[in-house]
Amino acid sequence: MNKVENKNNNSVNIVKNTLKALAFPFFSIIVSIFVAVFFVMWAKGYSILQYFSALGDLFGLIYKGGFGNTRVTFVTVSEVTPLIFTGVANAVAFKTGLFNIGVAGQFILGMLAAAIVGTIPGLNPVIHIILIILAGLVAGGIWGAIPGYLKAKVGTHEVINTIMMNYISMALANFLILRTHFGVPGKASTPNIQKSAELHRFVSGSGANISIFLAIAVAIFIFWLLWKTTVGYEIRAVGINPHGAEYGGINIAKNTVLAMVLSGAIAGVGGATHVAGVLHNVKDFMALPSYGFDGIAVALLAKSNPIGCIASALLFGTLNSSSRTLELNGIPKEIVYLIQAIIIIFVATDYIVKYFSEKKKKEAITNE
Amino acid sequence: MSSVILITLLAQTLRIATPLIFAALGGIFSEKSGVVNIGLEGMMIIGAFFSVYGSYITGSPLMGIVFGVVAGGVLALIHAVLSIHLRADQVISGTAINLFSTALASFLIFKLFGKGGQTDIVKGLSYNIPDAITNIPLIGKFISELNWFVILAIILVFVSHYVLYKTPLGLRIRAVGEHPKAADTLGINVYKIRYFCVILSGMLAGLGGAALSLGITPLYREGMVAGRGFIALAAVIFGNWKPFGALGASLLFAFGSAFNIFAQGLSWNLPTEVYDVIPYVLTMLALAGFVGKTTGPIASGKPYEKGSR
């Protein structure tokens, strides 16, 4: 009898905790859309009374631009894929208490590695695709290992190093593409990869390809790794309380490097599959790929839960892919980026919730 | 190398360094008080845009500068509230500021100028100096190739140094950044000092943005700031969190770019990318302890919680 009650209590608790965990991300999304509608109204010249019609416009257009027909749905899928990779990459770092702003750079390295390995002629498609993914993995992993090592051995902050390495990777890519035989002379891009290296697309003419399954698999794998294995336990322990972890015999330096390598490798695979599936070549970079920074938003909104990253990547991917439809309807596509930025601002301030609950407690104490 | 070329090169270096110097000074104030400001880039973007907009609607570049400085300060206020009172992760908050301002500037180009990508050309800050100075050999030519922003930047380096190291306010700022609890026990209002410094850093970064737009080409174009906020951050670190250090670092980084432009005229130029990475590689080496030694404020990046142990 007691056992049954306990079980019921447990499941109630699980539901309660899940709802609690989801409440704040949802709140952030709602607030950011609420704010974004004002920008829509301003752009369209609506008066304040038309708030709800602007809200309707925004929602309708985001839906239409994200899932309105098969073509845009596939665009959404191709936007979601890299975001899952970069989101999970950021999440792994967050879980270790690190901030890997360098995901964008690791993504570039993955792209470069794929573009170079992809041009090797005469390989079996299966082997070639495995090679291309491994190339991205290794390139991103090494690029993540450098700031990880510097953090573990010298103690320099990974944020600064990864920011610097983002720009270094951009310069490296441009150098290789524009000034060496890896690039096509006079074209500012690498040659197209071999047919054998291309990932299978769902329909021709759309970037959506099978790497979405790989992305989901990686997210699930990382979830399993973090919560069901000793390796993951150590990584999380370092993230929650490094001193406690060290006292318990966990090597902080090792786990810092490991987490950065893991994070970089996932970002690198994301870059590699983006080249193998969508782009087929790499053009020179004017700016850092936005997937890196969007990945931060994805991970934050998902509260660094890899499975949650799939859902939040879906949200951000839909926003990205609907930007064209928005623009065609007189709403500047920057609305999408504004929504993303505002979501991050609100997610970053989850202290608000704590602040009010603490205030309540304090008042309760003083009232006694 | 004739002296005329050398002077052009030096003047070019100073002009390129100016936006970096402003933003780096902003970064120093913020970091000295214990708040990491990754958002310098975004504040420069907003400063660059609003100074153009200010000059566009008032017709006066001076008002434009005021617009840019105020806009940078307002944006920094958001960062301050988030990271000081709401104790958000300062790096996340800064990242959000960067994303937000890039998007906002593009949105406002569309809304206020009715076009995409870039604004109209507005009235820049004119720089007329009397003939008496221009006619001085060498120095006159050097001065005539600068602009008001350059001169202001150098003055502000001295002012910042003086404020930080010779005034009670500076002592308070540094105390708050090194050991906020000790500062609090001595009756220094930690939050107030931090708010002041973060807002000041936004205003300086906004001024840096204005120097970039009104001082060089008087328009705002998407992607115009192009990572200069991060180079300024690098200059803060490479300059060991000191105004004169940041000045030196900014000049060094800018010299790379100036020399790059200059060397393209010669036949023995290195690829542009080599010059591009110099600031970043140097900063990483400096942080790792290979070049010089840098140590930041101890409490930088940590929110201060009153009454916590």
Of A98-107, A139-148, A198-207, the one with minimum mean pLDDT is A198-207
Minimal CA separation from A72 to chain B, in Å: 23
**Would an 8 Å CB–CB cutoff place A175 in contact with chain B?**
yes
**How far does Cα A311 stand from its chain's mean position?**
11
Structure tokens at B302: 């940590």
**ipTM summary value:** 0.82
Residue of A165, A171, A334 lying closest to B276 (CB–CB): A171
Cβ distance of B96 and A344 shorter than 8 Å? yes
Which residues are CB-contacts of B181 (< 8 A; sequence separation ≥ 6)? Answer: B304
Cβ distance of B281 and A168 shorter than 8 Å? yes
Nearest CA to A345 among B39, B211, B274, B224? B39
Cβ distance of B96 and A348 shorter than 8 Å? yes
State pTM to two decimals: 0.87
Q: Locate the chain A residue with the closest alpha carbon to B301.
A: A157
pLDDT at B33: 92
B-chain residues within 8 Å CB-CB of A337? 99, 102-103, 106
Q: Tell me the CA end-to-end span of chain A in Å, nearest whole number.
A: 39
Minimal CA separation from A214 to chain B, in Å: 28
Task: Name residue A194's amino acid.
Answer: Q
Q: Please check whether residue B72 is in contact with residue B292, taking contact to mean a CB–CB distance below 8 angstroms.
A: no
- Residue indicated by tokens 């005539």: B144
Strand partners, B173: none
**How far does Cα A365 stand from its chain's mean position?**
42
Per residue in A257-295, pLDDT tens? 999 999 999 999 999 999 999 999 999 988 888 898 889
pLDDT at A366: 64
**Would an 8 Å CB–CB cutoff place B87 in contact with chain A?**
yes
Of A65-69, A224-228, A311-315, B114-118, the one with minimum mean pLDDT is B114-118
- Residue indicated by tokens 């690190």: A98
Q: Provide mean pLDDT across the span A203-229.
A: 91
Return the number of other C-beta atoms located less than 10 Å from residue A206's C-beta: 17
Residue of A160, A287, A338 lying closest to B100 (CB–CB): A338
Interface size A-B, in CB pairs within 8 Å, comes to 129
Residue of A99, A164, A175 lying closest to B273 (CB–CB): A175
A-chain residues within 8 Å CB-CB of B99? 293, 297, 337, 340-341, 344
Q: Which of A149, A156, A163, A340 to mutate to test the interface with B (most CBs of B within 10 A)?
A: A163
A-chain residues within 8 Å CB-CB of B86? 349, 351-352, 355
Three-state helix/strand/coil letters over chain B: CCHHHHHHHHHHHHHHHHHHHHHHHHHHHHHHCCCCCCCHHHHHHHHHHHHHHHHHHHCCHHHHHHHHHHHHHHHHHHHHHHHHHCCCCHHHHHHHHHHHHHHHHHHHHHHHHCCCCECCCCCCCCCCCCHHHHCCCCHHHHHHCCCHHHHHHHHHHHHHHHHHHHCHHHHHHHHHHHCHHHHHHCCCCHHHHHHHHHHHHHHHHHHHHHHHHCCCCCCCECCCCCCHHHHHHHHHHHCCCCHHHHHHHHHHHHHHHHHHHHHCCCCCCCCHHHHHHHHHHHHHHHHHCCCCCCCCCCCCCCCCCCCCC
B-chain residues within 8 Å CB-CB of A172? 273, 277
Q: Mean pLDDT of all residues in chain A?
A: 86
Cβ distance of A286 and B223 shorter than 8 Å? yes
CA distance A316 to A337: 9
CA distance B183 to B172: 7
In a 13 Å sphere around the CA of B274, the CA atoms on its Cβ side amount to 9
B148 Rama class: left (phi>0) / alpha (psi -120 to 50) / beta? alpha
Cβ distance of B107 and A39 shorter than 8 Å? yes
**Would an 8 Å CB–CB cutoff place B234 in contact with chain A?**
yes
Q: Provide mean pLDDT across the span A244-269.
A: 93
A-chain residues within 8 Å CB-CB of B280? 164-165, 167-168
Structure tokens at B222: 């998407």
Q: Please check whether residue A74 is in contact with residue A210, taking contact to mean a CB–CB distance below 8 angstroms.
A: no
Return the number of other C-beta atoms located less than 10 Å from residue B62's C-beta: 14
A-chain residues within 8 Å CB-CB of B281? 164, 168
Q: Locate the chain A residue with the closest alpha carbon to B287.
A: A156
Per residue in A97-139, pLDDT tens? 888 989 999 999 999 999 999 998 888 889 999 999 999 999 9
Strand partners, A209: A201
Minimal CA separation from B235 to chain A, in Å: 11
- Residue indicated by tokens 């090494």: A142
pLDDT at B51: 93
Nearest CA to B201 among B86, B87, B90, B39? B39
Cβ distance of B284 and A165 shorter than 8 Å? yes
Q: Does residue A194 carry a pLDDT above 60?
A: yes
Tell me the CA distances in angstroms from A31 to A275, A334, A342, B87, one per residue in order.
Answer: 35, 17, 8, 19
**Would an 8 Å CB–CB cutoff place A314 in contact with chain B?**
no
Q: Please check whether residue A41 is in contact with residue A33, taking contact to mean a CB–CB distance below 8 angstroms.
A: no
Residue of B91, B104, B280 lying closest to A167 (CB–CB): B280
Strand partners, B221: B118
Q: What are phi and psi of B294, to 5 degrees?
A: -125, 135
Q: Is A44 exposed, middle or buried (0-12, 13-18, 19+ CB in 10 A)?
A: middle
Residue of B107, B233, B277 lying closest to A338 (CB–CB): B107
CA distance A128 to B63: 60
Task: Name residue A316's amino acid.
Answer: F
Please report, in tens digits, the pLDDT of each residue of chain B (309 residues total): 567 778 888 888 899 999 999 999 999 999 999 998 989 999 999 999 999 999 999 988 899 999 999 999 999 999 999 888 888 888 888 888 998 999 899 888 888 888 777 888 888 777 777 777 777 777 777 777 788 899 999 999 999 999 999 999 999 999 998 888 888 888 889 999 999 999 999 999 999 999 999 888 888 888 888 888 988 988 898 888 899 999 998 998 888 778 777 776 666 667 878 888 888 888 888 878 766 556 677 777 777 777 665
Q: Does residue A31 carry a pLDDT above 80?
A: yes
CA distance A114 to A108: 10
A10-19 burial code (b ≥16 CB/10 A, e <16): eeeeeeeeee
pLDDT at B258: 80
Residue of B87, B95, B227 lying closest to A344 (CB–CB): B95
**Would an 8 Å CB–CB cutoff place B287 in contact with chain A?**
yes
Alpha helices in chain A (DSSP H): 2-44, 51-67, 70-95, 103-117, 125-149, 158-179, 211-228, 230-240, 242-247, 252-274, 290-301, 306-328, 334-348, 351-367
Minimal CA separation from A218 to chain B, in Å: 25
pLDDT at A341: 85
pLDDT cut 70: percent of chain A above it: 92
CA distance B42 to B47: 8
B-chain residues within 8 Å CB-CB of A177? none
B-chain residues within 8 Å CB-CB of A340? 99, 103
Structure tokens at B226: 């192009």
Q: Provide mean pLDDT across the span A225-245.
A: 90
